[in-house]
Chains A and B, each alone.
Chain A
Amino acid sequence: MFDFDNVAVSQSLTAMTLLFHAIFATIGVGVPVLVSVAEFIGIRKKDPHYTLLARRWTRGYTITVAVGVVTGTAIGLQLSLIWPSFMQIAGNVIALPLFMETFAFFFEAIFLGIYLYTWDRFKNPIHHWLLSIPVVIGGTMSAFFITTVNSFMNTPQGFDLEGGRFTAVDPIAAMFNPATPTKVFHVVSSSYLTAAAILAGIAAFIILVKKGSAYHKKALKLTVSMMFIFAILTALAGDLSAKFLAEHQPEKLAAGEWHFDTEEGADLVVFGRLNENNEVENAIRIPNALSFLAHGDFQAEVEGLNETPEEELPPLWIHYMFDLMVTIGFYLLGISLLFLVFWKVKKWNTYHPLLLWGIALAGPLSMLAVEFGWIFAEVGRQPWILRGFMTVAEGATTSPYVTQMFVLFAVLYLVLALGCILTLRKIFKGRPAELEMERRYPQVAAAREEADE
């Protein structure tokens, strides 16, 4: 009983750290891409609005990066502190990507420091822009490496297990396991998407509430366009992920879809609820769609949950996580497409309040989708910590102090969240972009105003 409690608390502590870190990690991977694009457009078009956009985004980004760095350090250390037995064994196989992730992070940290303090330092602005490239590469590479570790835990390979120790280790095979391509693609594209959606949401909100200027309208058009591109990529990545699951982790897909009996032409179950007899009620059923999702063929056979031994079943509530993630994904695709249509059709009002509210909502929703997606992916492989090799219960620490540590970290994350929000408010409150525009580029701002009138 005591052991079980320790495991549950260890799980909760890790989940809390990861869910909190995921917010900042996603922003950390995605925002540099948008900053880099905005700065580049600013230089090419000689339009200081875009340069200012990059500058202001970077300012907010610094704060989120700080929280991302410290929570990333936390999860890095917690892996060994909370899951010592797991790390003792798996450390022999996953050390390589973990090590490389630190390199990527180091690279990003160095160039972010340089990027932040060299605005206006070079005569040719393109030199400063070039510094954003290593930041983008570092952030994306660190997402890549760390995702390979998670992929390995889902589809372990590249070793033999003999007497509780890994032998014949092949680090490259472990890194490039079957889950790696789809997981990395999905994580990276959805991080870019989320960053674009959040920045688009902010621009839409300001236009709604404070009218907004040319600056905000440019921001909105840029971010929503990028949102649309990344939403298509994310949908593609999601589709590939479902096909991967059907082949390599059928129990995760089946639990996500409440698909019990192995059958051909399986229906896709959307929302609904399960009664005591595990029968689905009140759901929307899309005929044969699950077969198509899993194998690209409406008549293909899809393995059901009844094939998996009962003690190896993941919890069935992950169905909702899956559905929510996918629904939000389609919402993001739809709303960005709608905006682009309104923008291109001259008669329609691009800044219709309802449309703007829809985009404003996309920001927080996209972050929720990231969280739902991670919960689905992680809870979906329970009870395994290393699928097929080690259960979560075997990996957890035996220390009696995990509960106290849970409280300690809960307080820490609360303080960090509050500090982050207060600081962001302080940075932007009472310092509108228009004022900064006038201060930094007085001639340009004056000329624009004349042209506007």
Chain B
Amino acid sequence: MNYELIGISVLWLFLYGYLIVASVDFGAGFFAYYARLTKQDHVINKLISRYLSPVWEVTNVFFVFFFVGLIGFFPDMAYYFGQAMLVPGSIAIVLLAIRGSFYAFENYGSKNNSFYMFLYGATGLLIPAALSTGLTISEGGYIEETADGVHLLVGELLTSPYSWSVVFLAIVSVLYISSMFLSYYAHRADDQPALNLVRRYALFWSSPAIIASLTTFIALSQQNEEHFNKALDLWWVFGLSVAAFMLAVFLVYRGKHYGWAFIAVMVQFFFAFFGYGASHLPYLLKPFVTLTSGVTNDAMAVALVIVFIAGLLLLIPSLILLMRLFLFDAEYVKGKNRYRV
């Protein structure tokens, strides 16, 4: 396997990781606020903050990781994406900044401040929308290169059915993934009232999630026919994704095996995401950057791959420790002890 393929696979893996952990986090923020509005916060908020508190920082790193790795392996992307994404990128940074810091302000300082909670909930839906712009413009047709630089065609972006269907897909996926995870977490905590509530959310958001996937597919055929046809060649990958979706919803509907249900959700998105990524190649950013044109020199690619492996050897045990202490430790999940600072 050549370096660029290793590079893009590594990056895709991290983006997938971000998709899962960030969705749980983004959706949880939204549900926490929604529960407050509907006066059900006493049911689930403790549960949510018990999960979020030790992991909120880690979530952010997945994204930075993907981003830094992308520029590292494919420096040409910095040139095109950097110029085109200045505005949407900056908005995403501002939203991430508000979200991250206000979480800490609320959680460690002004407990139960409704305004902070609102910001936390709202940004959780706006960030996926802003970030998904990056995926949208990579399909081609949204940026132009002229003598004085690269420009984003804002009008095209705002009037395109494809870009809106991606935004919609991003938001409903967040709510779906998050509510499926919270169902699992509530089940582990033996918290029946919370489970009833988040299980309702999960079942509710499952249908828009699958519908949005289909409409995005249809819109893609309009936007980028080549990509669409390649995706059709990989029909079996998307078929596995749909099968995993049905399994997940079935298990939650029956109210059994929540752990397996969430694994099925992860499998569902794994296949959908890798199918999408594989059919996107060889373009990273159509038509300016391809896998081979944008890649960094060999020496750097080798160094990055080595560091990546060394880094994983460090990170994986640490992440396992984190999960054992806070995700799989029954005492902690049930909130029997308060270990706070």
A to B CB contacts below 8 Å, 10 in the list: A59-B341, A66-B101, A70-B97, A70-B101, A76-B67, A80-B67, A96-B303, A102-B64, A401-B87, A427-B108
Task: Identify the stretch in A105-113, A253-261, A322-330 within 8 Å (CB) of chain B at 4 or more residues.
Answer: A105-113
Contacts of B315 in A (CB 8 A): 103, 106-107, 110
Q: Measured between alpha carbons, how far is A203 from B91 in the docked complex, in Å?
A: 39
B89: interface (CB < 8 Å): yes
Contacts of B297 in A (CB 8 A): 92, 166-167, 169
Chain B residue with the shortest CB-CB distance to A165: B297
Q: Measured between alpha carbons, how far is A91 from B308 in the docked complex, in Å?
A: 17
Is the CB–CB distance between A91 and B75 below 8 Å?
yes
Quote the shortest CB–CB distance from B334 to chain A (angstroms): 14
Is the CB–CB distance between A55 and B341 below 8 Å?
yes
Is the CB–CB distance between B82 and A84 below 8 Å?
yes
Is the CB–CB distance between A81 and B300 below 8 Å?
no
List which A66-86 residues lie within 8 A (CB) of chain B: 66-67, 69-74, 76-78, 80-85
Query: Provided the pairs A91-B72, A95-B75 are in contact, do residues A121 and B337 lie with their beta carbons within 8 angstroms?
Result: yes
9 more A-B residue pairs beyond the given contacts A106-B58, A119-B341, with a C-beta to C-beta distance below 8 A: A58-B341, A63-B105, A66-B100, A80-B82, A84-B80, A88-B75, A90-B75, A99-B311, A113-B322
Q: Measured between alpha carbons, how far is A399 from B311 in the docked complex, in Å?
A: 36
B103: interface (CB < 8 Å): yes
Is the CB–CB distance between B54 and A116 below 8 Å?
yes
Is the CB–CB distance between A114 and B321 below 8 Å?
yes
List which A375-409 residues lie within 8 A (CB) of chain B: 397-399, 401-402, 404-405, 408-409
CB-defined interface of A250-287 with B at 8 Å, one 1/0 digit per residue?
A: 00000000000000000000000000000000000000
Query: Provided the pairs A88-B76, A114-B321, A114-B325 are in contact, do residues A423 and B64 lie with their beta carbons within 8 angstroms?
Result: no
Q: Measured between alpha carbons, how far is A89 from B78 in the docked complex, in Å?
A: 9
Contacts of A362 in B (CB 8 A): none
Quote the shortest CB–CB distance from B138 to chain A (angstroms): 15
Quote the shortest CB–CB distance from B292 to chain A (angstroms): 15
Contacts of A98 in B (CB 8 A): 68, 71-72
Quote the shortest CB–CB distance from A82 to chain B (angstroms): 7
Query: Provided the pairs A98-B72, A171-B300, A415-B98 are in contact, do residues A106 and B78 lie with their beta carbons within 8 angstroms?
Result: no
What is the interface of chain A, defined by CB distance below 8 A to chain B? 55, 58-59, 62-63, 65-67, 69-74, 76-78, 80-85, 87-93, 95-96, 98-103, 105-107, 109-114, 116-121, 134, 166-167, 169-172, 397-399, 401-402, 404-405, 408-409, 412, 415-416, 419-420, 422-424, 426-427
Residue in B89, B101, B311 whose CB lies within 8 Å of A420: B101
Is the CB–CB distance between B93 and A77 below 8 Å?
yes
Most buried by B among A69, A71, A76, A78: A69
Chain A residue with the shortest CB-CB distance to B79: A88
Residue in A66, A87, A134 whose CB lies within 8 Å of B104: A66
B141: interface (CB < 8 Å): no
Contacts of A77 in B (CB 8 A): 67, 89, 92-93
Is the CB–CB distance between B68 and A96 below 8 Å?
no
Query: Provided the pairs A84-B78, A109-B57, A118-B339 are in contact, do residues A405 and B90 lie with their beta carbons within 8 angstroms?
Result: yes
What is the interface of chain B, defined by CB distance below 8 A to chain A? 53-58, 60-61, 63-65, 67-69, 71-73, 75-76, 78-83, 85-87, 89-94, 96-98, 100-105, 108-110, 148-151, 296-297, 299-300, 303-304, 307-308, 311, 314-315, 318-319, 321-322, 325-326, 337, 339-341
3 A-B pairs closest in CB distance: A95-B72, A91-B75, A84-B82
Contacts of B85 in A (CB 8 A): 81
Q: Measured between alpha carbons, how far is A127 from B217 in the docked complex, in Å?
A: 52
Is the CB–CB distance between A109 and B67 below 8 Å?
no
Is the CB–CB distance between A114 and B83 below 8 Å?
no
Is the CB–CB distance between B300 and A117 below 8 Å?
no
Q: Measured between alpha carbons, how far is A102 from B318 in the docked complex, in Å?
A: 15
Q: Measured between alpha carbons, how far is A116 from B54 in the docked complex, in Å?
A: 8
Most buried by A among B69, B73, B108, B151: B108
Chain B residue with the shortest CB-CB distance to A111: B318
Contacts of B326 in A (CB 8 A): 113, 117
Q: Measured between alpha carbons, how far is A105 from B82 in the docked complex, in Å?
A: 23
Q: Measured between alpha carbons, how far is A95 from B71 in the docked complex, in Å?
A: 7
Query: Provided the pairs A87-B79, A397-B82 are in contact, do residues A110 and B318 lie with their beta carbons within 8 angstroms?
Result: yes
Chain A residue with the shortest CB-CB distance to B105: A423
Q: Measured between alpha carbons, how far is A118 from B55 in the docked complex, in Å?
A: 13
Chain B residue with the shortest CB-CB distance to A87: B78
Residue in A93, A109, A420, A424 whose CB lies within 8 Å of B58: A109
Chain A residue with the shortest CB-CB distance to B310: A103
Contacts of A169 in B (CB 8 A): 297, 299-300
Q: Measured between alpha carbons, how far is A117 from B58 in the docked complex, in Å?
A: 14
Residue in B60, B90, B300, B321 whose CB lies within 8 Å of A409: B90
Query: Provided the pairs A88-B75, A92-B300, A102-B68 are in contact, do residues A70 and B96 lie with their beta carbons within 8 angstroms?
Result: yes
Contacts of A114 in B (CB 8 A): 54, 321-322, 325
Q: Measured between alpha carbons, how far is A402 from B314 in the docked complex, in Å?
A: 39
Q: Measured between alpha carbons, how far is A105 from B72 in the docked complex, in Å?
A: 17
Q: Measured between alpha carbons, how far is A278 from B146 in the docked complex, in Å?
A: 44
Quote the shortest CB–CB distance from A432 to chain B (angstroms): 17
Q: Measured between alpha carbons, how far is A220 from B236 in the docked complex, in Å?
A: 67
Contacts of A67 in B (CB 8 A): 101, 104
Quote the shortest CB–CB distance from B108 to chain A (angstroms): 5
Is the CB–CB distance between B82 and A99 below 8 Å?
no
Q: Measured between alpha carbons, how far is A63 from B80 in the docked complex, in Å?
A: 35
Chain A residue with the shortest CB-CB distance to B104: A66
Contacts of A402 in B (CB 8 A): 86
Query: Provided the pairs A69-B57, A103-B311, A409-B94 are in contact, do residues A81 and B325 lie with their beta carbons within 8 angstroms?
Result: no
Is the CB–CB distance between B303 and A59 below 8 Å?
no
Contacts of A111 in B (CB 8 A): 318
Query: Provided the pairs A88-B75, A88-B76, A119-B341 are in contact, do residues A408 and B90 lie with their beta carbons within 8 angstroms?
Result: yes
Contacts of A422 in B (CB 8 A): 105, 109-110
Most buried by B among A69, A91, A111, A112: A91
Quote the shortest CB–CB distance from A170 to chain B (angstroms): 6
Query: Provided the pairs A76-B68, A91-B78, A427-B108 are in contact, do residues A412 and B299 lie with their beta carbons within 8 angstroms?
Result: no
Is the CB–CB distance between A119 and B340 below 8 Å?
yes
Most buried by B among A71, A105, A399, A404: A399
Quote the shortest CB–CB distance from B111 to chain A (angstroms): 9
Quote the shortest CB–CB distance from A36 to chain B (angstroms): 15
Chain B residue with the shortest CB-CB distance to A13: B90
Q: Measured between alpha carbons, how far is A117 from B324 in the docked complex, in Å?
A: 13
